[in-house]
């Protein structure tokens, strides 16, 4: 495209606001994009953000997708809306980039991919962690075989979500968070899916999954606050995931990924590469730190991701985190749910994921 790419953001919750600010920053610093408008259920938020950023405030989603100035729709709404809103945007010829999870079921995600292919639409999924400097650095070592064959990847997400201030915060939160029908799950599908995405990026595709989920500390909601999964990679190695939302003290939250290969090992603490040792004398040692806040998301990584997606669209090349890539982590989540519910090992690809 020779002109600026027109983008509309749908959803103005915590993450939607991060999207708006990242895109507006790109608009100011590049010739790549124009933030055309925003839409949300909250008319107050629409008016506030439209005034603040000098863009359109749409009254309906139909107005968004029918606007010829809009080339790309960014979806940052509750999970259960992702697939339908993506379908409707595609039907109007709009490219789509959607927050994780791309859908609440594998079936819906596959249908999104299929429709995008048929219509020649670019479909991207937001996993901004792949753009962190430490993650990119570790991926470079993995791809260059510095660690050798990957034998084991472990992922720990030890976070905290308060029942009252998160799940029961207000009418909107109570209308979709903590419900299988609308959130699609809990700790795994909402928070740990980022960790799973990186475990797959480092370790490769998975052929079999077994897992457990439970709710130990959030009695007012139905979804899991702990999830444990074991994955067998197609390459022969294994992945082990442990995720919870009840870590105390909440000032000591962290996300850690460790990789053990035939020639070395590495550790990612949150998004920083803090440790790497190889038989070839490559050595990295940095001091990790704990987090007291895991709800607020810094926008720098989203800016990098949006810039990459928009450049891919402008240059007519593939965006690295396609719908196919977004499906992989969702499939692991749904396989863990299936495994825990049916008390069985699950072979991939997952053919039926209608558990709840």
Cβ atoms 126, 154 nearer than 8 A: no
pLDDT at position 356 is 41
For 97-138, what is each residue's pLDDT tens digit? 999 999 999 999 999 999 999 999 999 999 999 999 999 999
pLDDT at 355 over 60: no
What residues contact residue 54 under an 8 Å CB cut-off, 6+ apart?
A: none
Q: How many residues appear in the chain?
A: 356
Q: Where in the chain is the domain with CATH 3.40.50.720?
A: 5-126+299-321
Q: Check if the beta carbon of residue 107 is closer than 8 Å to that of residue 131.
A: no
| Mean pLDDT confidence for 84-94 | 98
Say whether pTM exceeds 0.85.
yes
β 33-39/5-10 pair status: parallel
- Return the CATH fold of 132-290+329-347: Dihydrodipicolinate Reductase; domain 2 (3.30.360)
- Residue 202's pLDDT band (cuts 50, 70, 90): very high
Query: 83, 80, 137, 89: which is closest to 110 by C-alpha?
Result: 83
Strand 150-158 to strand 254-261: parallel, antiparallel, or no bridges (unpaired)?
A: antiparallel
Q: How far is Cα 95 from Cα 89, in angstroms, rounded to an integer?
A: 7
Q: pLDDT confidence of 296, banded at 50, 70, 90?
A: low
Token couple for 51: 């005034």
Residue 2 pLDDT class (50, 70, 90 cuts): low
The proportion of the chain whose per-residue pLDDT surpasses 70, expressed as a percent, equals: 97
The structure tokens 């506030």 sit at: 48
DSSP states of 84-112 as a string? HHHHHHHHTT-EEEEESSS-SSHHHHHHH
* pLDDT tens-digit series, residues 240-255: 999 999 999 999 999 9
In a 3-state reduction of DSSP, which class is residue 29? helix
Structure-token pair, residue 235? 């390459």
Topology (CATH) of 5-126+299-321: Rossmann fold (3.40.50)
Beta strands 123-126; 238-244: pairing state = unpaired
> Average pLDDT, stretch 287-309?
83
> How much is the average pLDDT of 165-188?
96
Residue 273, CB half-sphere, CA atoms under 13 Å: how many? Answer: 20
| Residue 220, C-beta contacts closer than 8 angstroms, at least 6 positions apart | 163, 167, 168, 178
What pLDDT score does 62 carry? Answer: 98
pLDDT (0 to 100) of residue 291: 79
CATH 3.30.360.10 intervals, the chain:
132-290+329-347
**What pLDDT digit, counting tens, does each position of 19-38 carry?**
999 999 999 999 999 999 99
- Write the pLDDT tens digit of every residue in 323-336: 999 999 999 999 99
């Amino acid at each position: 495209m020779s002109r600026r790419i027109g983008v509309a953001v749908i959803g103005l919750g915590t993450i939607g606001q991060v999207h708006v600010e990242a895109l507006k920053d790109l608009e100011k610093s590049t010739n790549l994009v124009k933030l055309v408008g925003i839409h949300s259920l909250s008319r107050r938020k629409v008016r506030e953000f439209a005034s603040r950023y000098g863009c359109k405030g749409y009254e309906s989603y139909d107005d968004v997708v029918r606007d010829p100035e809009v080339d790309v729709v960014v979806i940052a709404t509750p999970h259960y809306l992702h697939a339908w809103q993506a379908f409707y945007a595609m039907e109007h010829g709009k490219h789509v980039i959607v927050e994780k999870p791309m859908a609440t079921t594998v079936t819906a995600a596959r249908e999104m991919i299929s429709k995008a292919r048929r219509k020649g639409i670019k479909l991207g999924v937001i996993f901004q962690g792949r753009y962190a400097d430490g993650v990119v650095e570790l991926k470079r070592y993995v791809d260059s075989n510095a660690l050798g064959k990957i034998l084991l990847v472990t992922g720990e997400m030890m976070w905290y979500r308060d029942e009252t201030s998160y799940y029961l915060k207000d009418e909107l939160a109570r209308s979709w968070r903590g419900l299988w029908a609308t959130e699609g799950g809990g700790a795994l599908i909402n928070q740990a899916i980022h960790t799973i995405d990186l475990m797959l990026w480092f370790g490769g595709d998975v052929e079999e999954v077994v897992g457990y989920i439970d709710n130990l500390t959030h009695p007012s909601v139905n979804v899991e606050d702990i999830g444990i999964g074991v994955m067998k990679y197609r390459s022969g190695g294994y992945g082990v995931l442990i995720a919870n939302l009840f870590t105390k003290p909440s000032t000591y939250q962290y996300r850690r990924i460790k990789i053990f290969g035939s020639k070395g090992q590495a550790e990612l603490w949150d998004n920083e590469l803090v440790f790497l040792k190889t038989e070839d004398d490559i050595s990295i040692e940095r001091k990790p730190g704990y987090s007291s806040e895991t709800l607020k998301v810094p926008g720098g990584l989203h800016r990098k991701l949006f810039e990459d997606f928009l450049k891919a669209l402008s240059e007519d090349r593939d965006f690295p985190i396609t719908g196919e890539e977004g499906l992989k982590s969702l499939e692991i989540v749904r396989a863990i749910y299936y495994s825990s519910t049916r008390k069985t090992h699950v072979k991939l690809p997952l053919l039926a994921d209608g558990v709840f």
